[in-house]
A and B are shown apart, each in its own frame.
Chain A
C-alpha cells in the first residue's frame, strides 16, 4: 500500500525562524514529489516539484529535497513570515498511474509575528 506521512501535524514558530517540514513515503517507485500550500477553505497551490532524478529544487525562500533511498522529502522555509501560515501538503506521483497523487496528511504551520 502506498503511504505518505507528514510530521509534524502542526507547527508554530516565531517570525523569522527557519523551519523544516518532513514527508516520508513508502515504495521508492516515485515519478515525482510535489509540495503544495493550502490556505483554509481553499484549493492547493503548487510550490515545488522534484522529479525522481533530482535531489532538490529551490524557489525563493523555499527549498525542497528528495531522497528516494530513504523515502524522505523535506521542505525548508527560510526566514519564515506570518504570510507563510498555511497547511503544507506533500504529494507523491507514482509511475504508470496516470498522474495520480497520493497525499500526506499535511502540516499546519503557524508563524507568529
Chain B
C-alpha cells in the first residue's frame, strides 16, 4: 500500500524557536496533502490543506503566519511552526491523497510529537 513518511517523529525545542516537519509520499505523487493537529485524548483537527504549487488553504482559526506550509513538489509538504510556544505542543499528523484520487483514500504519516519547553 501507499506509504507516507513523516519526519521527525519527535522534537523537543525551546520556546521561540522554529520547527520544521516534513511529510513525504514515498511511492506515489500527492497533489494534495493535509495537516492535522491532535491534542491528548482528542480527535484530529484539520489545520490546512496543502496543494502542490499553490498556497495552502487554512482552516478557520489557524494562523497562517504561525504555521507555514510549503508544498514544493508532488511528494513533499512541510509544516513550519514559527516561534513555537508551549501551547503549540501537540501531535501533528499529515496525510496525502494520491494524484489519481483512488476513490478518496487518504494515507497518513506516523505523526510528529512536538514539545515546546
Residue positions of A touching B, CB distance < 8 A: 31-32, 34, 36, 41-46, 49, 51, 89, 91, 93, 98-106
Contact = CB atoms under 8 A, between A and B. Distances in A.
Given A89-B44, A98-B32, A105-B43, A43 B103 contact: no
A82 to B, nearest CB: 21
A38 to B, nearest CB: 9
Q: Which of A41, A42, A44, A89 has the most CB of B within 10 A?
A: A44
Contacts of B57: 98
B19 interface: no
A101 B32 contact: no
Interface in B43-82: 43-46, 49, 51, 57
A49 B103 contact: yes
15 contacts: A32-B104, A41-B111, A42-B111, A43-B111, A44-B93, A46-B107, A49-B105, A51-B103, A89-B43, A93-B104, A93-B106, A98-B49, A98-B57, A99-B106, A100-B46
Interface of B: 6, 32, 34, 42-46, 49, 51, 57, 91, 93, 95, 97, 103-111, 113
A32 B6 contact: no
A42 B32 contact: no
Contacts of B42: 105
B24 to A, nearest CB: 13
Given A32-B103, A89-B44, A99 B108 contact: no
Contacts of A98: 32, 49, 51, 57
Nearest to A99: B97
A43 B110 CA distance: 4
A100 B46 CA distance: 8
A15 to B, nearest CB: 24
A99 B110 contact: no
Given A43-B109, A98-B49, A103 B104 contact: no
A6 B21 CA distance: 30
Nearest to A97: B49
